Amino acid sequence: MVLSEEQILVTLTDVFRQYGYEGASLAAIAEATGLAKASLYHRFPGGKAQMAEAVMDRARVWLDTVALVPLRDQSLPIRDRVLAMTRQLDAFYQSGEKSCLLDALSIGEAGSALRRMTRDALDLWAGELAAAVAAAGYGEEDAARRAERAITLVQGALIVSRIKGDPAPFRRVLAELPEQLLGG
């Protein structure tokens, strides 16, 4: 059976964020996707490194074309825009039951291309979030700090939720994110 590239990338994303880059063996990937290892190499001649880069590229595209889109909709109140972003995050992380992709792919001896991609994704997220907050009337620097703190809370909450085996900390952070970004 022939799977679509999209279906494979969804599965790869799950495997990488569950096991991390090193922990995700080709055997595990083959089993999760239902494809033989040779078939994976047919689609990703660069092997596991290319698979991880494809996953990260798709994550950046998702950030750019889905999660961050509501932030740019100036017809909505800023608080609603932020709220729409948190709903996308909630879906991507399944309310805290899935681990963070940026974390999983930035640990260990990830290649330099992958490192750059995780950094770019983080910068994209932080930049657009800061711009949205600044557009709400905050100073550039204040907005940048609020955006950085929001992202920090999301990343941290995903770790705390994973370690505790309890999605509640992530849900709490997500619920308080609009106030964190726009309050005070």
Partner DNA sequence: GTCTATAGTAAGATAGAC
Partner DNA sequence: GTCTATCTTACTATAGAC
Contact call for residues 17 and 100 (beta carbons, < 8 A): yes
Angle at 161 between CA 155 and CA 167, to 5 degrees: 115
What does 131 bind: DNA, a copy of itself, none (CB cut-off 5 to 8 Å by kind)? none
What does 59 bind: DNA, a copy of itself, none (CB cut-off 5 to 8 Å by kind)? none
What does 20 bind: DNA, a copy of itself, none (CB cut-off 5 to 8 Å by kind)? a copy of itself
Contact call for residues 112 and 106 (beta carbons, < 8 A): no
User: What whole-number distance in Å separates Cα of residue 127 and Cα of residue 147?
Assistant: 8
**Residue 63, C-beta contacts closer than 8 angstroms, at least 6 positions apart:** 121, 124, 125
Q: Which is nearer to a copy of itself, 67 or 100 (CB)?
A: 100
Q: Does 56 bind DNA (CB under 7 A)?
A: no
User: What whole-number distance in Å separates Cα of residue 133 and Cα of residue 126?
Assistant: 11
Q: Which parts of this chain interact with a copy of itself (CB under 8 A)?
A: 18-23, 99-100, 102-104, 106-109, 118-119, 122-123, 145, 148-149, 151-157, 159-160, 162-165, 169, 172-173
Q: Which parts of this chain interact with DNA (CB under 7 A)?
A: 1-3, 24-28, 34-39, 41-43, 45, 47-49
